């Protein structure tokens, strides 16, 4: 992790802006697309086209987000949608998709705005606050409303959800299990506590009176209590941690750079969304995706083909793929909302993934971030008090931003 100074390549970028890479750089500044076997026996994939070939393949299975650890630790529940493949994944994805469409997200706007206003009032009253705390509170409450976890105190829910991201990790390269039975017992305890205190009360309430939320929908499709628990872990916990970090990353950019601040606060929603997508391309919350091949997988690249054997681990470098010079105009590692892209390349690159496991919460994550930041940045004399502490979350293979303190 490091701080990069202001770029002066005005010919390539008419509005050069300061840039901080919050995640560790795992590649050269302008990496070419490549597929290579490293010394640890892991296939490293860089570049938009080869990355999409891996992520869209039906010859792989999920190996990231501590899939091996969760499968080993949470043996009492079925695989969540994040780890399912084939027909089972398609069935569950179809069952839950309607809660994350643009139309559904538009219906959440008033709810998100009300929560955002509460947090801004807390900031005004206190005079200062840690944005990592405010973004945590917002992302947990929004995730709880969408999923249906509204029958337990939000503060306790946040702690219990956060606990899933402190499980002792399994190294996807070695598939080593956690080092002790104690770690497995702790994981089981976190799961049981979350189920008893948060999920079960919500299920019981919705069996009596269904709501327009994910848990009610799963009940209507006759999902078991444990199957509902599985999806609550996936949607609530994963949605919370990724949105929280992106809100902080975007706020940090906008508070530190006057040009970006002016572009964001002076733009309409389309312009703001374009800027947020660009920040997400530069600062992917999930910096690496892992897949394990279930059959030989051939990747074509610049006129030749590389075959990855069955059973091998594939590591997709999202940072490097988002910087692919064949797909985005240089300089790729600065925030430049109006940059040119090749046809078919998303404005956020591969930061939401691709293929059947593309993030279902992409729309709501951007909407939630925009609603909160427009209110935050409208505060007069808002100042960044100190640069935050940067850490790494091994579960999502991405950054953590803490102590991002602002003052009014």
248-275 per-position pLDDT tens digit: 999 999 999 999 999 999 999 999 999 9
Q: How confident is the model at residue 234 (pLDDT cuts 50, 70, 90)?
A: confident
pTM attached to this predicted model: 0.84
Q: What residue numbers bound the domain in which 394 lies?
A: 2-407
How far is the C-alpha of 88 from the C-alpha of 172, rounded, in Å? 23
Q: How confident is the model at residue 239 (pLDDT cuts 50, 70, 90)?
A: confident
Q: How confident is the model at residue 86 (pLDDT cuts 50, 70, 90)?
A: low
* pLDDT score, position 28: 47
Q: What distances in angstroms separate CA 49 from CA 19, 220, 336, one per listed residue?
A: 25, 40, 22
308-362 per-position pLDDT tens digit: 999 999 999 999 999 999 898 888 889 998 888 898 899 999 999 998 878 888 8
Residue 109 scores a pLDDT above 50: yes
* pLDDT score, position 167: 58
**In the chain, what percentage of residues exceed pLDDT 90?**
48
- Supply the mean pLDDT for the chain: 82
Q: Choose the weakest-confidence range: 26-30, 44-48, 93-97.
A: 26-30
CATH number of the domain residue 248 falls in: 1.10.630.10
* pLDDT score, position 64: 58
Number of structural domains (the chain) is: 1
* pLDDT score, position 266: 95
114-156 per-position pLDDT tens digit: 999 999 999 999 999 999 999 999 999 999 999 999 998 877 8
């Amino acid at each position: 992790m490091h701080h990069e100074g202001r770029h002066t390549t005005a010919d390539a970028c008419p509005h050069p802006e300061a840039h901080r890479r919050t995640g560790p750089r795992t590649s050269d500044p302008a990496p070419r697309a490549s597929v290579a076997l490293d010394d640890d026996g892991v296939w490293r994939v860089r570049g938009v086209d080869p990355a999409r070939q891996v992520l869209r393949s039906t010859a792989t299975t999920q190996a990231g987000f501590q899939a091996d650890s969760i499968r080993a630790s949470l043996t009492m529940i079925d695989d969540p949608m994040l780890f399912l493949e084939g027909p089972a994944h398609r069935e569950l994805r179809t069952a839950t998709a309607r809660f994350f469409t643009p139309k559904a997200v538009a219906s959440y706007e008033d709810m998100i705005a009300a929560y955002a206003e509460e947090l801004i009032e807390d900031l005004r009253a206190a005079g200062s606050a840690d944005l990592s705390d405010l973004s945590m509170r917002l992302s947990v409450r929004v995730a709880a409303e969408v999923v249906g976890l509204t029958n337990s105190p939000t503060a306790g829910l946040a702690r219990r959800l956060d606990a899933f991201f402190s499980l002792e990790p399994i190294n996807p390269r070695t598939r080593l299990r956690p080092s002790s039975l104690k770690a497995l017992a702790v994981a089981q305890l976190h799961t049981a506590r979350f189920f008893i205190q948060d999920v079960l009360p919500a299920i019981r309430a919705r069996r009596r009176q269904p709501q327009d939320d994910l848990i009610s929908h799963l009940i209507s499709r006759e999902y078991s209590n444990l199957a509902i628990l599985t999806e609550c872990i996936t949607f609530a916990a994963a949605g919370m941690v990724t949105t929280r970090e992106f809100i902080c990353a975007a706020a940090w950019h906008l508070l530190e750079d006057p040009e970006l601040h002016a572009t964001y606060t002076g733009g309409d929603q389309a312009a703001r969304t374009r800027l947020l997508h660009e920040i997400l391309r530069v600062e992917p919350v999930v910096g690496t995706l892992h897949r394990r091949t279930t059959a030989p997988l051939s990747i074509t690249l610049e006129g030749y083909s590389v075959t990855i054997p069955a059973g091998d681990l594939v590591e997709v470098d999202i940072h490097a793929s988002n910087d692919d010079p064949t797909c985005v105009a240089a300089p790729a590692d600065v925030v430049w909302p109006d940059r040119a892209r090749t046809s078919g390349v998303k404005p956020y690159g591969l930061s939401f993934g691709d293929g059947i496991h593309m993030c279902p919460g992409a729309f709501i994550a951007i909407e939630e971030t925009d609603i909160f930041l427009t209110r935050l940045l409208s505060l007069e004399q808002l100042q960044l008090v100190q640069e935050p502490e940067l850490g790494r979350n091994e579960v999502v293979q991405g950054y953590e931003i803490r102590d991002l303190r602002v003052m009014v």
